[in-house]
Amino acid sequence: MTILSVRDLAIHIPPGDFRPGAGIARPVDGISFDITPGECFALLGESGCGKSMTALGIMRLLPIAARAVAGTVNFEGRDLLALPESGMRDVRGGGIGMIFQEPATSLNPVLTVGRQIVEALELHSAMRGQAARARAAELLDQVGIPDPLRRLDEFPFQLSGGLRQRVMIAIALAGEPRLLIADEPTTALDVTIQAQVLDLLDDLRRKQGMALLLITHDLGVVARMADRVGVMYGGQLVEEAPRAAFFSQAAHPYSVRLFAALPDAKRRGGRLATIPGSVPAADVRHLGCRFAERCSEAVLACAATPPPWRVVETGQRVRCHLPGAAPAALPQIGAGAAVLAIAARPLLEVSDLQVHFPIRRGILQRAVGAVRAVDGMSLQLMAGRTLALVGESGCGKTTAGKAMLQLIRPTAGRVQLDGVELTTRSAAELRPLRAKMQMVFQDPFASLNPRLRIGDIIAEGMQALGTGAMGANGSMGDNGGDTAAKVGPLLEQVGLRADMVDRYPHEFSGGQRQRIAIARALAVHPQLLICDEPTSALDVSVQAQILNLLSDLQRDLKLAYLFITHNIAVVDYLAHDVAVMYLGRVVERGTADEVLRQSRHPYTQALLAAVPRIDGLGPLVVKLAGDMPSPANPPAGCHFHPRCPLADDACRRDYPPERRFGATHAVRCIKA
């Protein structure tokens, strides 16, 4: 008994005007799977493997150029690919609901939430007027939105990201679908909100017997949600397995490597396994196994003939020539990283840093308040160490990083780099110090000027700061030879080829671009590198490459990192010290072990508990309810008290002082 049965689905994009000379792209190339009612099937894969295209193909919502050229999609006995467009409209929303990745853009900003839910109700049921409105409120209640009657009349911009994704789910539920396709439903959300949304989806699935096709790149989400897992690579499924079997022993070499690439505390100080090369382009023709060229176990047959499906005794199906279930000989480099001596004086010392953005109203633009993005933050970073700044989006961690670099001028507080005060210096006085501190940005697609060549991008800092040029003039182009000679070695240092200097950024993949961004920062020989979520836009296997690179560079160049991230696993792997931020302030800081293993602040504990774990162990404490308050109007007393399970009157009255536990561990909580 299946509700959805996909057989040999193939989606091709013919080379159009935009890609002259290219072959036919095959983003989905013969994929088959079944979903039974009430089951959660997860399609797992890195970006570009065709998982979203599969979902769009099932819904027949493909981009104009793309065509489903072969296969069948059987939903409740009907072949969707053979249905007329009018019949398809009943299936969409009515039979199959879909929610998308980006809650910010999937709701219409000019219609109220209620109007959008009622619209879906009117399409798929006979409900009109008050009845539809009542049902809409019921749906909002069902997806856990408090005070649903009031929310019906609000616009999407009045809701937070988590609430918007709930509204999207409510709209998807309006047609009472038997199958819900969720395309990366929590990727854009914070971990605590992600945990709420995943709970909701799981709950709905159990209560309503709704099947769920979950599309994700996150192994943690799969472990939390899925009954069965399908691993996609290069437009095909390479492994299909029940969850328990998959997480205890992955069968396909690609799946094994995905696990090995995950950073966590056990691999601390060692190297992460990486997959050489990158995902093949969609228009490459494959003779044999698609993974062969990146697989270290590949034998001759792998490159010559496509591997057949094979059933492993644990119930997994795997598409691989190799008889052994999994390669045992993964490079396991144990801990053994050099423990760096702690310098006597901190390289970076921040005390009471404040960044307030004034809110201006009225004709005269008078400041009526301030967004307290960073509100009194103190930390220390020793040379050669990594301090992770952890927190959810909107807690001010990126603003803090930029304020330390003086890219945003702080409102108050002190920032000392190597004993030199930065906040009081003018832009010209800061320039000589810029070489000591650099930044690596989050989005590798926005951080490189698309109009400049790689060589010019990397040389820019050297030329601006005069560090690359020995000659007197620091102007562009005149000292080309000298600077150009330094760009090549830098590219090689970050694992690229020196002959790439003349290419433009768009010719590189996300991981390569991030390497270029790192090379640009390294060009001026900084001592401090502020890394703002450098891997959050990258796939797991690429993330591993970048993390390896960063730890190599730290070992070789004695760099200090301020690592801004929301990814606890990365922190656990990389950081020596951790500071947890909530609403513009550091609520807990200490060494990585102290903060991550013996956390004392309830927020840190909740944050750690919300991270989905691939070992399947459930969370130990209650999850956080609600969202982070607005930094323009923080709650009185402890900022965390409205969401804190331990809060009492004392918490509501005063902001808690810092309490120290040991030499390095400090917590701002009276209950800790």
Partner 1 sequence: MSIQPVLLWSDVLLFVLMASIGGLSLWARRQDALRAAWARVARNPVAMSAATVLAAFVLIGLLDSVHYRARLPAQPGAETRYSVEVNSALDAVLADLRQRAEKTYSAPLATHLFAKEALENSAQREFPRLKFGGAHLGADLAAHEFDIAVRVSRGCAAGMLLWLLMASLWCRLADLELIATLKQLREGNQGSGAGNPATGAVFVTLLGILLLLGIAISLGGGYHVFGTDKVGQDVLYLSLKSIRTGLLIGTLTTLVMLPLAVLLGILAGYVGGWVDDLIQYLYTTLSSIPGVLLIAAAVLMMQVIIDTHPDWFATSAERADARLLALCLILGMTSWTGVARLLRGETLKLRELEFVQAAQAFGVGRFAIMRRHILPNLMHIVLIALVMDFSGLVLAEAVLSYVGVGVDPSTISFGTMINTARMELAREPMVWWSLVAAFAFMFALVLAANLFADAVRDAFDPRSSA
Residues at the interface with partner 1 (CB under 8 A) = 18-19, 402, 405, 407, 427, 430-431, 434, 437-439, 441-443, 446-453, 457, 460-461, 464-465, 476, 502, 504, 506, 517, 520-521, 524
* Minimum CB distance to partner 1 smaller for 155 or for 445: 445
- Measured from the CB atom, the residue of 185 and 468 that comes closer to partner 1 is 468
Distances (CA, A) of 586 to 210, 371, 400, 401, 639: 42, 17, 11, 13, 11
Closer CB to partner 1, residue 465 or residue 628?
A: 465
Supply the minimum distance, in Å, between the C-beta of residue 519 and partner 1. Answer: 12
Q: Which residues contact 515 (CB under 8 A, 6 or more apart)?
A: 494, 495, 496, 546, 549
- The maximal CA–CA distance of the chain, rounded, in angstroms, is 79
- DSSP class of residue 584 equals T
As a whole number of Å, the CA-based R_g of the chain is 26
SS3 for 309?
Answer: strand
H or E, element range at 115: helix 113-124
Give whichever of 165 and 399 is closer to partner 1, judged by the CB atom.
399
CB of 469 to partner 1, least distance (A): 13
Cβ at position 476, least distance to partner 1 in Å = 8
What would the 3-class secondary structure string for 231-270 be? EEECCEEEEEEEHHHHHHCCCCHHHHHHHHHCCCHHHCCC
Nearer to partner 1, 225 or 405 (CB): 405
**25 vs 170, which CB is nearer to partner 1?**
25
- Pick 329 or 427: Cβ nearer partner 1: 427
Give me the least distance between CB of 407 and partner 1, in Å please. Answer: 6
Are residues 458 and 491 in contact, defined by beta-carbon separation less than 8 angstroms?
yes
Q: Which is nearer to partner 1, 19 or 653 (CB)?
A: 19
Grouping H, G, I as helix, E, B as strand and the rest as coil, residue 458 is helix
Q: Which residues contact 590 (CB under 8 A, 6 or more apart)?
A: 577, 578, 661, 662, 664, 665, 666
Least distance between partner 1 and beta carbon 436 (Å)? 11
Separation between Cα atoms, residue 583 and residue 585, nearest integer Å: 6
Residue with structure tokens 């008889």? 323
Shortest distance in whole angstroms from residue 357 CB to partner 1: 14
Whole-number minimum distance, CB 460 to partner 1, in Å? 6
Smallest separation (angstroms) from partner 1 to the CB of 52? 20
We find the least distance from the C-beta atom of residue 276 to partner 1, in angstroms, to be 24
Residue 367 tokens, joined: 């400041």
Given a contact cutoff of 8 angstroms between Cβ atoms, the answer to whether 334 and 270 are in contact is: yes
Residue 334 CB neighbour total at 10 angstroms: 10
Q: In 433-584, which ranges are E strands?
A: 437-440, 528-532, 560-565, 577-582
Nearer to partner 1, 362 or 450 (CB): 450
In the three-class reduction of DSSP (H, G, I as helix; E, B as strand; rest coil), residue 431 is classed as: helix
- Closer of 521 and 550 to partner 1 (Cβ): 521
Alpha helix locations (H) across 277-343?
300-304
What are the φ and ψ backbone dihedral angles of 157, each rounded to 5 degrees? -70, -15
- The answer to whether residues 54 and 33 touch, using CB atoms and an 8 Å cutoff, is no
Q: Which one, 252 or 397, has the nearer CB to partner 1?
A: 397
Containing 613, the helix (H) or strand (E) segment is none
Residue with tokens 């009943």: 90
In the complex with partner 1, which residue's Cβ is closer, 210 or 440? 440
Q: Which is nearer to partner 1, 91 or 400 (CB)?
A: 400
- Find the shortest distance in angstroms from Cβ 193 to partner 1: 25
Distances (CA, A) of 204 to 94, 164, 253: 16, 17, 34
Tell me if residue 372 falls in helix, strand or coil: strand
> CB 431 → partner 1: shortest distance, Å?
4
Nearest CA to 569 out of 300, 267, 357 is that of 267
Smallest distance from the beta carbon of 433 to partner 1, in angstroms? 9
Q: Tell the smallest beta-carbon distance from residue 509 to partner 1 (Å).
A: 13
